[in-house]
């Protein structure tokens, strides 16, 4: 594996390797958590910010979204915290694109590097939009 091209490290290749390493443990943990883990230790994953001030933080609902994702209930996962579904979708998109470039097209070294930061920009936008919607819903509920 050569991660260095023209004196620079290819970040996309490093992320591809990392993605291959974490795939199986992530799936195993997810299926365990959805099967029995949420019931046995779901109470320890409470939001300190929500407990402190009563308002959700941008990550609120992430544990339940993760739970619903691995139960196959994508709509509830999206409703709880859209970032979890976005993260899985972005991961799959990136991994499939890199697999295609590396193994089918065999042009990883010749093509432009996949810009990882665009996935992060998307995640920030999804986090902020879903958090804003939660805050608006709370305000709407309190006002009515």
d(CA 39, CA 108): 44
**Any residues with CB less than 8 A from the CB of 99 and at least 6 apart, and which?**
none
Picking from 102, 99, 119, 113, the residue whose alpha carbon sits closest to that of residue 5 is 113
107, pLDDT greater than 80 = no
3-state secondary structure of 99: helix
Picking from 144, 126, 7, the residue whose alpha carbon sits closest to that of residue 62 is 126
Picking from 69, 61, 59, 60, the residue whose alpha carbon sits closest to that of residue 33 is 69
- In this prediction, residue 1 carries a pLDDT of 55
d(CA 39, CA 51): 20
pTM over 0.75: yes
- In this prediction, residue 127 carries a pLDDT of 95
pLDDT tens figures, 45-88: 778 888 888 888 888 888 889 999 999 999 999 999 999 999 99
pLDDT tens figures, 63-72: 889 999 999 9
């Amino acid at each position: 594996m050569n991660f260095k091209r023209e004196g620079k490290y290819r970040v996309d290749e490093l992320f591809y390797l990392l993605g291959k390493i974490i795939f199986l443990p992530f799936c195993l943990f997810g299926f365990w958590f959805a099967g029995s883990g949420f019931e046995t230790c779901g109470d320890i994953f409470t939001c300190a910010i929500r407990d402190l001030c009563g308002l959700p933080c941008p990550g609120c609902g992430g544990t339940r979204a993760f739970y619903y994702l691995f139960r196959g209930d994508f709509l509830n996962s999206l409703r709880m915290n859209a970032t979890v579904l976005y993260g899985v979708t972005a991961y799959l998109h990136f991994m499939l694109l890199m697999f295609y470039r590396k193994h089918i097209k065999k042009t990883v070294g010749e093509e432009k590097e996949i810009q990882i930061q665009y996935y992060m920009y998307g995640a920030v936008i999804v986090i902020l939009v879903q958090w804003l919607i939660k805050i608006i819903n709370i305000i709407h509920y309190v006002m009515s």
